[in-house]
Amino acid sequence: MPDWNAAAAEAAALAGAWSEARGPGGAILLFDTAGIRHASAGGFASLEHGLPFTPDTPNRLASISKHFLAATLLLEEIPLEAPLGTLLDGLPPAVAAVPLERALDMTGGLPDMMELLWQQGVPFTASLTAEEVFSVARRIPALNAAPGTEMAYSNTGWRLAQRILPERRAVSYPEALRRRLFAPLDLPFAFPENESVPVPGLATGYCWDGAGWRRGRYGLHFSASGGLAGSATALARWAAALMAGRGPLAGILERLAAPRRFADGSESVYRLGLVRSALGRVALVGHGGSLPGYRNHVLMAPELGLGVVVLTNREEEALWPALRVMAALTGEPLPAAPPALPPGLFAAAEGPFWAELAADSISVMGGFERLVAAPGGEWRSLPAYLDIRLRAEGPDALAGMVGGVARRLLRVPEGLAPDPALAGEWTDPVLGTGLRVTPEGEARFDWAGGIGARCRLTPLPGGRALADLSHGPWRHRPCLWLQPDGSLRLASHRARVLHLHRRS
């Protein structure tokens, strides 16, 4: 039996802490298939105006938006097995050959547009339209990996999938959402194109900069990968209807959460806009969302018919609070803390793959996940975006599976000097990206008008180095990687296709 009282107390404690801090806040809702069972809220939706955050305060859902598009594609009977090139015109050959289902389950190898733009010096605040972003996508020269071989989070497949509806069904995505989902279920969601579009009552997003709260900013076109806005009440009503299979949603959750497999037959945790996980004996599906100033998570336990929504306008982790409430609700224990970890920077013997290990978390090529204990003294992620299972091989090596791929990483020695072969002026002939590296180990990523992002490089063995770019609350650390022919590749978890050559 679910313990609604214990879960409500946990939710109230979390929301109460936001109110006591007199800062940004959020709402936490408990629900079952019949509807909402409890709501707690705290903190402010607007610090400037002193407006409280309530369960009915609209918030940016960010990547929770993804499974709404997947449900719409299913209802529109778009063939998920079809290659993207048969559904959209004008795609580059490598992208065109990716099946739509792999573009949606994160195994398509598609470079993420946001990280690809960052690697070209474009600031995260740049106001780029859907067509401007698509113009870059049409020039993607290659894939990160062969489709089906690796799970690497990317928003690009979802951006492209949104365009299928007007091209193949002659209906815009907002209209398809309204007709297929929102009108039949009476759901008050909005789909603003970018942050400049007014959304009545929308909570302001805030990030902590070390001294105080600052407004979050994000210039890029939102797209179906993360553009929905709505309240915790609306999201809980949606999730309850999804679990119950009400109206047009009959059988949809089962299709969204059905197992997805790599090319070798092994199972991935990422499905169609949902992540499969577990809390003790309870199977969970859900998804997180992050935009500058907004962090959210929804968790559903379909076999029990219950769930938790956490929406916040503060740049802090939302998965762990959702798990705390779900643990109280189900009586299952929270995952145990990981054993003592060997903190530090690690890198593969060759190639761009690296990880930085902290006390209870890991960044793998920039993909951040919290770690918990796993059987046999190993560690695993709480997969918000990336499935990780690792073990220590002595104090100086890590081995295991990252995104379905076997990796072995070695501790990076301290005091490495920059490789002099990295120095010079570089350009990508396909995308026109410019990069300058000084002999002292500083890099400048050029953008329009001579403006660019500057950073100090962290040397790795074997002609490699990590850049360190700040994009609001996000940290981007692409690896510069010298090739045998003297060219240079640039790679992060989500974007690994830039191939630069020395300027003559």
Domain CATH number, residue 438: 2.40.128.50
Query: Looking at residues 192-211, what average pLDDT do you find?
Result: 94
The answer to whether position 377 is within a domain reads: yes
The answer to whether position 90 is within a domain reads: no
Question: In whole angstroms, what is the distance from residue 259 CA to residue 197 CA?
Answer: 37
Domain span holding position 376: 344-411
Report the domain count for the chain: 3
Residues 238, 306 within the same domain: yes
CATH of the domain at 311: 3.40.710.10
pLDDT for 433 equals 87
**Helix (H) / strand (E) containing 336:** none
Question: In whole angstroms, what is the distance from residue 248 CA to residue 28 CA?
Answer: 26
pLDDT for 44 equals 98
pLDDT per position as a tens digit, 6-17 = 999 999 999 999
pLDDT for 112 equals 96
Query: Looking at residues 52-71, what average pLDDT do you find?
Result: 98
Reading the block at residue 441, the tokens are 């180990």
Residues 407, 433 within the same domain: no
- End position of a domain, from candidates 369, 390, 411: 411
The answer to whether position 98 is within a domain reads: no
The answer to whether position 101 is within a domain reads: no
Reading the block at residue 402, the tokens are 């990252």
The answer to whether position 259 is within a domain reads: yes
The answer to whether position 108 is within a domain reads: no
pLDDT per position as a tens digit, 22-31 = 999 999 999 9
Reading the block at residue 305, the tokens are 């018919």
What's the pLDDT band for 452 if we cut at 50, 70, 90?
A: confident
Query: Looking at residues 422-439, what average pLDDT do you find?
Result: 93
The answer to whether position 399 is within a domain reads: yes
- Pick from 62, 105, 332: which is nearest to 223 by CA? 62
- End position of a domain, from candidates 375, 391, 411: 411
pLDDT for 382 equals 85
pLDDT for 428 equals 92
Residues 406, 453 within the same domain: no
pLDDT for 16 equals 98
Instruction: Please give the C-alpha separations between residue 400 and each of 187, 346, 353, 394, 420, in angstroms, as whole numbers.
Output: 43, 13, 13, 14, 32
Query: What are phi and psi for residue 10, nearest 5 degrees?
Result: -65, -45
Residues 322, 205 within the same domain: yes
pLDDT per position as a tens digit, 273-331 = 999 999 999 999 999 999 999 999 999 999 999 999 999 999 999 999 999 999 999 99
Length of the chain: 504
The answer to whether position 247 is within a domain reads: yes
Query: Looking at residues 448-458, what average pLDDT do you find?
Result: 82
Query: Looking at residues 395-424, what average pLDDT do you find?
Result: 95
Residues 326, 204 within the same domain: yes
Q: Who has greater pLDDT, 366 or 144?
A: 144
What is the model's pTM? Answer: 0.96
Residues 255, 279 within the same domain: yes
Residues 271, 317 within the same domain: yes
pLDDT mean across residues, the chain? 95
- End position of a domain, from candidates 273, 308, 331: 331
Reading the block at residue 325, the tokens are 């409430």
- For 20, counting Cβ atoms within 10 Å of its Cβ (0-12 exposed, 13-18 middle, 19+ buried), the class is exposed
Residues 301, 277 within the same domain: yes
